[in-house]
Amino acid sequence: MTVVALLVAVVAMLVNTAATLLEAAGSRRATSDRPLWRQPAYLVGLALDALGWVLAVVALRYLPVITVQSVLTSSVALTALAAHRFRVRRMPRSQVVGVAGVVLALVLVAGATTGQRSEATLPSAAAPVLLVVALALAAAGLPLARAGRPLVLAAAAGTAYGGAALGVRALHLSPDVRVDADLLGRPLVWAVVVFGVTGVLLVAAALRHGQPGPVVGVVSVTEVVLPGSAGLVLLGDAVRPGWTPVLVVGVLAVAASVALLSRSGSRVPSRAV
């Protein structure tokens, strides 16, 4: 099942990449006469985002948070490749190094973790805290969007996506779970919902003000480091004996490679969509 879950995470990454490209195109085409919600490309991107989220949830049911989030992060490499229509020879050397670094880092992270999720639960106080953080982040969304700083928006979006991933990972739901009062009464469920919706809206705002490359880069690093660390510390996600240094190097390599891609300006033109 571990291999299947990894494949599901890879498919989620591919779907998320397509969603980002479409949302970026729709965001750039938005005008006062044709606002964002009337842009077909953006709406299709949102639908793909939802599909990618469902696939990521499935992967998180079987894999550690840091493994799934690291796989999803490779979308930044595909975004850079898409900007050049997957013609590697036309890419600047810094972007080639960044793409190769992301791939290598993912191999290190995947190899360092056991591939088996722990059944540990969050401390009892963690779920209400996550919900409060989710609501605070949602409340800050509008002021952040008005400020128009794309990298700040991207960091907030990455935090929201990371919080949602952590919440999904911490939920212990049986396959025959029903939507009832008991389920809807769990703070963790509402934290996941608020985090997820907030993340989508913040990414849209970031893409309106900035280029896809840097935006995706900041989102990716944030949503790997924060929930991945929490999964290891709070949820008992396991690392292979003696492989902790490899995991640390892998995570740092992800961050460095994504930063390199972001700094090199992975601009995605409309025709790339």
pLDDT over 50 (residue 230): yes
pLDDT over 80 (residue 56): yes
pLDDT value at position 194?
A: 93
The residue among 230 and 166 whose pLDDT is bigger is 166
Bridge partner residues of 113 (DSSP) = 239
Please, which residues have CB within 8 angstroms of residue 124's CB and are 6 or more apart in sequence? none
CA-CA distance, 104 to 185, in Å (whole number)?
Answer: 42
Question: Dihedral angle at the C-alpha atoms of 248, 253, 255, 259, nearest 10 degrees?
Answer: 160
pLDDT value at position 1?
A: 59
CA-CA distance, 269 to 57, in Å (whole number)?
Answer: 30
pLDDT value at position 134?
A: 92
CA-CA distance, 98 to 170, in Å (whole number)?
Answer: 32
pLDDT value at position 151?
A: 83
* Residue 39 backbone dihedrals phi, psi, to 5 degrees: -95, 115
pLDDT over 80 (residue 271): no
pLDDT value at position 266?
A: 45
Each residue's pLDDT tens digit, 172-193: 655 555 655 666 778 888 888 8
* pLDDT-derived band at 32, boundaries 50, 70, 90: confident
* pLDDT-derived band at 258, boundaries 50, 70, 90: confident
Q: Of the given ranges (164-168, 235-239, 268-272), which has the lowest mean pLDDT?
A: 268-272
The residue among 271 and 146 whose pLDDT is bigger is 146
Q: Of the given ranges (39-48, 69-78, 162-171, 245-254), which has the lowest mean pLDDT?
A: 69-78
Residue-wise DSSP of 155-207? HHHHHHHHHHHHHHHH----TT---SHHHHT-HHHHHHHHHHHHHHHHHHHHH
Bridge partner residues of 239 (DSSP) = 113
Give domain limits for the chain: 64-268
CA-CA distance, 209 to 83, in Å (whole number)?
Answer: 18
pLDDT over 60 (residue 268): no
Tokens of 98: 């960044």
